[in-house]
Amino acid sequence: MSFDQLGLSVPLLRALAELNYKTPTPIQTKAIPTVLLGKDILACAQTGSGKTASYSLPLLQRLGNGQRPRSNQARSLILVPTRELAIQVGDNLQGYSLHTSLRSLVVYGGVKINPQMQKLRGGVDILVATPGRLIDLHQKNAVRFQQLETLILDEADRMLDLGFGDELKTILHALPKKRQNLLFSATFSADIRELATTIVHKPVELQIDTPNTTVPSINHWLVPVDKTRKPQLLIHLIKQHEWSRALVFVKTKKGADRLVTALGKADIKSAAIHGDKSQALRRRALDSFKQKTICVLVATDVAARGIDIDQLPQVVNLDLPIVATDYIHRVGRTARAGTDGEAISLVCADEHKQLIDIEQLLGKLIDRQYEPGFEPSHEVPESPSPLRPSKPKKPKKPKKPKKTNTLATTEKLSPHTTTISGQTERHRKHR
């Protein structure tokens, strides 16, 4: 199937051709016609499967009906959990809408709010926003929703993971009840389904892939290593395998900065993005990584869903994530759009529980590859069954019945205690 068979307009097809989009992905094939019909959607598809285009393209077509937004009004709202994902969605919208007159705007925290308020004065067709900044703008009357036609939640599961539940309730209360609702998520969980009951109405449910899985073209492997030697092992792997670009995930902001310092001492160009970095610095680091002026981008989970890089060959987990589903989102940065990729984890003994959770989520064991010279002094235990086949147990021999004396117990009694019908005299007195 091609994009021109999905009912898209000529301006959109022209933009897709210029972007070299040739064949729609499974989620795009199913979602685009459904959204064009005006139906609500509850969709689950893997990270990197093309969810953004699956809702952006039909949204742009439905908005191209000649109406114009009034001052401070937004005709559609796309909610995303992080700044990086907001920027990524905004960039995609710019490309898709190149041959239309529709206006889109991206707003997020960490930058001055006044420029965003000024851009909203003329109204926008599509507003891409993070929850916190959207609430700030709404409280300042900088954005209104009387003209809102469509609400889209992208990476809804990540919003709940980041604790945006209350913010979502506040936003939903401010929106008109009559609207089209599209909820997209990389994973389906009980919390997501509960959230969906408050948003979508009689939705068409689309589940393209097995929930909580990665694309088959990712090669997963791990290296057992002591915690203190992880940075040295990473440097060794980068140089040994001549990795040209690697996205490395760490647990803490301080850990990210320390790793960048260690990489610099080893003459490996790198930069870090995390919550303490200004948006300008984060954008600069990401641009440098995309332009290949740095070899390694070190990130905390704040960037797990907002990085869209063509042909990213390696994703490295220097620290395993606390929540197993975050592993899916991290490694989903590689092997995008049909390419191959590697997901490498440096695992210490303290992370055994997280490793088990990840392997259970994947439904398979991750291949272990020991690196000579970095063998751990504290071994990472092997994962238990049912992931690892257990040896059949030998049948136990039946036990022979014990002979009992009904007249007296066989226990040893003190010289001052007599036995009467299997009970001690002392016991009888206490009864």
pLDDT for position 217 = 82
pLDDT tens digits for 197-212?
999 999 999 987 555 5
pLDDT for position 163 = 84
pLDDT tens digits for 347-406?
999 999 999 999 998 889 999 999 999 999 999 998 886 665 545 455 555 555 555 454
For residue 217 the two structure tokens come to: 């073209």
Least confident span in 270-274, 300-304, 312-316: 300-304
Whether the predicted pLDDT of 256 surpasses 60? yes
pLDDT for position 396 = 54
- Name all domains of the chain by residue range, CATH numbers in brackets: 3-207 (3.40.50.300), 218-368 (3.40.50.300)
pLDDT for position 151 = 98
Question: Whole-model pTM?
Answer: 0.68
**Residues 123 and 70 sit within 8 Å (Cβ to Cβ):** yes
**For residues 320 and 362, what is the distance between their CA atoms, to the nearest angstrom?**
14
pLDDT for position 138 = 98
- What's the Cα-to-Cα distance from 149 to each of 77, 224, 255, rounded to whole Å? 8, 52, 44
What's the whole-number average pLDDT of the chain?
86
pLDDT for position 48 = 67
With a CB cutoff of 8 Å and minimum separation 6, the contacts of 229 are 374
Q: How confident is the model at residue 17 (pLDDT cuts 50, 70, 90)?
A: very high
With a CB cutoff of 8 Å and minimum separation 6, the contacts of 40 are 180, 181, 182, 200, 201, 202, 203, 204
**Residues 155 and 81 sit within 8 Å (Cβ to Cβ):** yes
